[in-house]
Structure 1
């Protein structure tokens, strides 16, 4: 069972409704809190395909554009209904005159033009906002790629700078994580184990580098719960997403730093005196020391979250990792927690976290501490999982999003063509064959016809249209008689 959550994936609305019906009273608190509702509203499910393990979420602008399209569709239906009612009123009585048909056609064209103009204005506004989003994503992509390159270069050229890079990057990313989570009321997730371990790491690196107990705890917890969380919580290497990069950094850079200190740092005992006392690790003693510091965190977490903040959790103002785990009915953890009585779920959840933490530390105390080769292989496996998840995100999510956009564009074009065809067939005047063989009704059209007839030049000098009618008819009769 996972011991920490840095960026929890969001439950799907279907799971939301299922969990609500199956568990009416979870831990005697408000099960689905308002922040949890924001999970459903702000992000889509990250379990949408088999190629990714998490993070196949939709972007914020997808939902906004869908809402805009629904609003436009409603307005279009209303305009169609009004046009049909107007046409019914026109055709209900006497046959419409050409002037009425022409006026109605112009009105429909004007309405269509207004709809297109409004649509273009809305899209222009969204485009400007999307440009800002794209710029931020480009910056995140650039920083993520350059950070990976710098870390690789430092590992080969100056491994003694890795812990400095770890500290500097944390001073940037952790405040960003606090700001983003606080704004969404997710900041109770910041009390989880991964952040606690990172704080312990900084205390060892810069305050107590000669403490063997602290070094053993940091090494074991970093290679145990933190590293395994990349797989358990499905972190992905998505460079353009600062939130995903932050989650991966929190879980991966700590074991990378302590692997470098243990196996690749030149004269590590001079900078970190604790290593001089630990040429080899005593596995059971290491497990006991790391478990002891783990229990310190778990006690503080219980006191601060489940006791001191119980009122806020019950009122729905905050949500915790326990409620997130309860919502995941598809997994073994969610099903196991669902079988436990509500009043005992918190205790069983914390017990499961402890067992998980101990089990994930077994490889590092028995194998990784004494082997540089297997330590490197372990990091490659963990990093490879995140790269696979990121590749699935780019291929699956972006590909499906592009397909949906093409389908929506195809539907919009088809609808626009249908609207134009509908307006032209229902509003434009129709001409029958009998009308084409007789004299035109409009004096202006008749004037153009007579201009091509021989011997009728005097018609061009006639007066206004109101006085042309009778004279024109006389001239037509005379012309036919002459011929």
Structure 2
């Protein structure tokens, strides 16, 4: 009886090892395929950006309506679905509606420009989004923040309708858009109206996540929100964010998070005004965003992934030692 039991344990252990090995091989293969498709997709996007910039808005819309629903399915399984209530998805939804249904609405365009080149663009840099082609999740995260700015860059400076308005026949110098000549109009639609729209999102987010779904979140600590993730990482690192969020005490960290995010949004939104008025500055900003995401991706590949591989091997060794001891 004891001998049969030991044989059964050995057989199950061998099968478990085989399954784990196959799963690892499958994961490696998926990563390679993702890397291939990611590089080809990014290359195709760059080609379209140069060859047919007028099509970039529709490429972006196709990306959004394809990958965001897929991300919701994946995040629902991982209990990360509350991330899809974050401001970046709220803003991207406004972008898609504007491009598809109100492409010539100048006021909506300016609000979208402010969001794309303000909070979303700087979040890409500040939160260190990494362009890692072997990770579909990281690719989508980068593109959610990067593509809108490139879309509104092409519309602002390369769209044939606006380009013709800025370069009148018989005039070598670039002319300002009619509404760009009025500073008050410019600040209204690039700063004040976007902030009102942002405040509306913040109120809705607070009501849904922190009021209506509060008990659900308290019951299950595995369900993640942006605040939970940032707090967890900040507390572990004991960084500036953690110290600032604790200025009013631990019981008011959520309030401080909302206030700090509002300050960040106001500052980055204000920076969109000079970017809107200067082609050169706007072009440099695109290079900065792309460079930052690629640099962060390089850091992830060179520094983070080797550490993850070492930890994975250590877990395997511990598991094998435990298996041997049990035998």
TM-score by length of 2: 0.81
The residue that corresponds to 2:36 in the other structure is 142
The residue that corresponds to 2:68 in the other structure is 174
- 1:84-103 aligned within 5 A: none
- 1:250-399 aligned within 5 A: 250-268=144-162, 278-279=179-180, 282=183, 283-285=186-188, 286-316=190-220, 318-327=223-232, 328-329=234-235, 330-366=238-274, 368-399=275-306
Query: What displacement does 1:248 show?
Result: 0.4
Residue 198 and residue 401 in structure 1: after superposition, are their counterparts in 2 closer, same or farther (change >3 A)?
closer
Whether the 8 Å CA contact 1:269–1:276 is kept in 2: the answer is no
Query: What displacement does 1:284 show?
Result: 2.6
- 1:220-259 aligned within 5 A: 220-259=114-153
Q: Aligned with 2:256: secondary structure? A: helix
Query: What displacement does 1:163 show?
Result: 0.6
- Give the helix-richer structure, 1 or 2: 2
- 1:6-17 aligned within 5 A: none
Aligned with residue 209 of structure 1, among 96, 100, 103: 103
Counterpart-to-counterpart distance in 1, 2:224 and 2:311: 33
Larger radius of gyration: 1
Q: Which moved more, 1:124-133 or 1:148-157?
A: 124-133
Query: What displacement does 1:116 show?
Result: 8.7
Q: Aligned with 1:323: secondary structure? A: helix
Counterpart-to-counterpart distance in 1, 2:39 and 2:311: 29
Residue 314 and residue 159 in structure 1: after superposition, are their counterparts in 2 closer, same or farther (change >3 A)?
same
Whether the 8 Å CA contact 2:246–2:256 is kept in 1: the answer is no
**CA-atom RMSD in angstroms:** 3.3
Whether the 8 Å CA contact 1:138–1:240 is kept in 2: the answer is yes
Query: What displacement does 1:360 show?
Result: 1.0
Question: Any gaps of 5 or more consecutive residues in structure 2?
Answer: 165-175
Counterpart-to-counterpart distance in 1, 2:319 and 2:76: 39
Residue 354 and residue 408 in structure 1: after superposition, are their counterparts in 2 closer, same or farther (change >3 A)?
closer
Whether the 8 Å CA contact 1:326–1:338 is kept in 2: the answer is no
1:190 aligned onto 2:84: yes
Which has the higher relative contact order, 1 or 2, with Cα contacts under 8 A spaced 6 or more apart? 1
Whether the 8 Å CA contact 1:281–1:369 is kept in 2: the answer is no
Query: What displacement does 1:115 show?
Result: 9.3
1:200 aligned onto 2:104: no
Query: What displacement does 1:208 show?
Result: 1.8
Whether the 8 Å CA contact 1:230–1:251 is kept in 2: the answer is yes
Query: What displacement does 1:168 show?
Result: 0.7
TM-score by length of 1: 0.56
Q: Aligned with 1:267: secondary structure? A: helix
Q: Which moved more, 1:404-413 or 1:147-156?
A: 404-413
Q: Which moved more, 1:154-163 or 1:170-179?
A: 170-179
Query: What displacement does 1:304 show?
Result: 1.9
Whether the 8 Å CA contact 2:246–2:252 is kept in 1: the answer is no
Question: Any gaps of 5 or more consecutive residues in structure 1?
Answer: 1-106, 420-483
Query: What displacement does 1:310 show?
Result: 2.3
Query: What displacement does 1:143 show?
Result: 2.0
- 1:382-421 aligned within 5 A: 382-400=289-307
How many residues in Structure 1 have an aligned counterpart in Structure 2? Answer: 304
